[in-house]
Structure 1
């Protein structure tokens, strides 16, 4: 893992710009994550101090909202739809297949940092269920074979 203290100058710039904004915690967290791809551990005490909050309050907000990440993002992100339409068309079986193939649980990232698995609750592709999004690209009417091929492509040569 990289030395997170290298991020302190950026974090301090964000804090200086946003700390006096009413309700500043969420805009600060979003700005840090947008810049770095995640909210590093080193940012939490800095944010707490700047906003006169406890470290527990800042951690609580970061852990409550599923869109905040506390580790660097994976090279590839796979988001499998788990909404009703996709569920009725086999998404749970695909989820089990992905967990086994990637040796991850839902919300997991591979040890090598190449791929993350994230369940989502609607990609807006209900008419062509089941669907997943891989690095922002929608893939629909999935079969177990197509899912395996997509993931294999990411794992073998790093491109999807």
Structure 2
């Protein structure tokens, strides 16, 4: 069993490989269920889809969307495409780095070292409302440094509360 998931890699693969389903679709399904694609699924996935391990690994590492380790408790994705750039996203990115002490795209798939991770994306479909970002998958538009600070504070507080609840749940004595 993979140490970071409750399912064995072979079980994850069996759950998601279906006739006619592409490798990319299977990788998305696994990441949707677990939150990332554990590296231990590469070999069983290659067997199930009759692909080489190199082909599976190549697809997994080529697409920026896939991660092979758990995401940070607060993951901020900032659009850095042209429309957002024209509306000040680069100044916002500098503010975000200064505010969080993180750098963009550092640690993606190398594991996170704190509560927050900053990731660049290149279009969130909110060009008329730029700059745009997501925080843990929730979309925000017309983001200013002040709006970012407020959203970050709420997301960080929620992540810390969730972590505290998880710790409490795991350390409770049976009744």
Q: How does 1:50-61 map to 2 (within 5 A)?
A: 50-61=48-59
Q: Give the Cα separation in 2 of the matches to 1:108 and 1:130.
A: 21
Alpha-carbon RMSD: 2.6
Which consecutive aligned stretches of 4+ in structure 1 deviate over 6 angstroms post-superposition?
A: none
Partner of 1:7: 7
Alignment TM-score, normalising by the size of structure 1: 0.77
Runs of at least 5 residues in structure 1 that lack an aligned partner in the other structure? none
Runs of at least 5 residues in structure 2 that lack an aligned partner in the other structure? 161-175
The answer on whether the counterparts of 1:40 and 1:70 sit within 8 Å (CA) in structure 2 is yes
SS in 1 for 2:39: coil
Q: Give the Cα separation in 2 of the matches to 1:158 and 1:5.
A: 19
Alignment TM-score, normalising by the size of structure 2: 0.72
Partner of 1:111: 113
Q: How many residues align?
A: 154
Q: How does 1:7-156 map to 2 (within 5 A)?
A: 7-8=7-8, 10-14=11-15, 17-18=17-18, 21-22=19-20, 24-108=22-106, 110-112=112-114, 114-156=115-157
CA deviation after TM superposition for structure 1 residue 22, in Å: 4.1
CA deviation after TM superposition for structure 1 residue 95, in Å: 1.1
The answer on whether the counterparts of 2:135 and 2:155 sit within 8 Å (CA) in structure 1 is no
